[in-house]
């Protein structure tokens, strides 16, 4: 039942048995629908764990799904978790595991290795020309 707060500010709110019954039914229905949604996500993850997880990753995050291929030797593990700020519906999280050796060049020194290297201070301030490529000066 809808109560106008401005009109009933001085009058007590009367809660009838129909209101109590409606609240019980609404709570039960929300619980039923929440459990159906959770079971859908759970069964979706369990089904994909037995099959090819790259198909599911394409639906969750298509940009990162294009980065993985069979030669990388990875597998994915999916789980349900709480989203940011909301408890429900659950959010699908995934973790990437590697089986092959992995070398991430930009992990410790993030720089652009394809960019032209500026001359060093020694090359700029010496009065003699720099040595040609292949001849080093340590």
Pair of tokens at residue 13: 């709110």
124 lies in a domain?
no
Count structural domains, the chain: 1
12 lies in a domain?
no
C-alpha distances in Å from residue 127, one per residue of 79, 124, 130:
64, 8, 9
22 lies in a domain?
yes
Pair of tokens at residue 7: 């009109």
Q: How many residues does the chain have?
A: 138
- The pTM of this model reads 0.50
Torsion angle defined by CA atoms of residues 43, 45, 48 and 50, in that order, rounded to the nearest 10 degrees: -80
DSSP category for residue 74: E
Most confident of 23-32, 73-82, 129-138: 23-32
27 lies in a domain?
yes
Q: What percentage of the chain reaches a pLDDT higher than 70?
A: 73
Segment 26-35 mean pLDDT:
92
136 lies in a domain?
no
What span, in angstroms and rounded, lies between the C-alpha atoms of 110 and 47?
A: 39
Pair of tokens at residue 54: 């790259």
The whole domain housing 73 covers 17-114
What span, in angstroms and rounded, lies between the C-alpha atoms of 1 and 16?
A: 9
70 lies in a domain?
yes
Place of tokens 């003699």: 128
């Amino acid at each position: 039942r809808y109560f106008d707060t401005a009109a009933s500010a001085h009058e007590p709110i009367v809660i009838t048995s129909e209101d109590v019954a409606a609240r019980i039914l609404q709570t039960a229905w929300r619980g039923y629908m929440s459990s159906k949604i959770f079971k859908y996500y759970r069964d979706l993850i369990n089904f994909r764990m037995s099959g090819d997880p790259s198909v599911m990753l394409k639906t969750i995050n298509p940009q990162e799904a294009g980065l993985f291929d069979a030669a990388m030797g990875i597998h994915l593990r999916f789980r349900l978790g709480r989203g940011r700020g909301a408890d429900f519906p659950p959010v699908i999280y995934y973790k990437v595991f590697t089986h092959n050796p992995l070398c991430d060049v930009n992990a410790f020194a993030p720089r652009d290795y394809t960019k032209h290297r500026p001359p060093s201070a020694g090359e700029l301030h010496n009065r003699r020309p720099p040595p040609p490529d292949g001849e080093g000066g340590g």
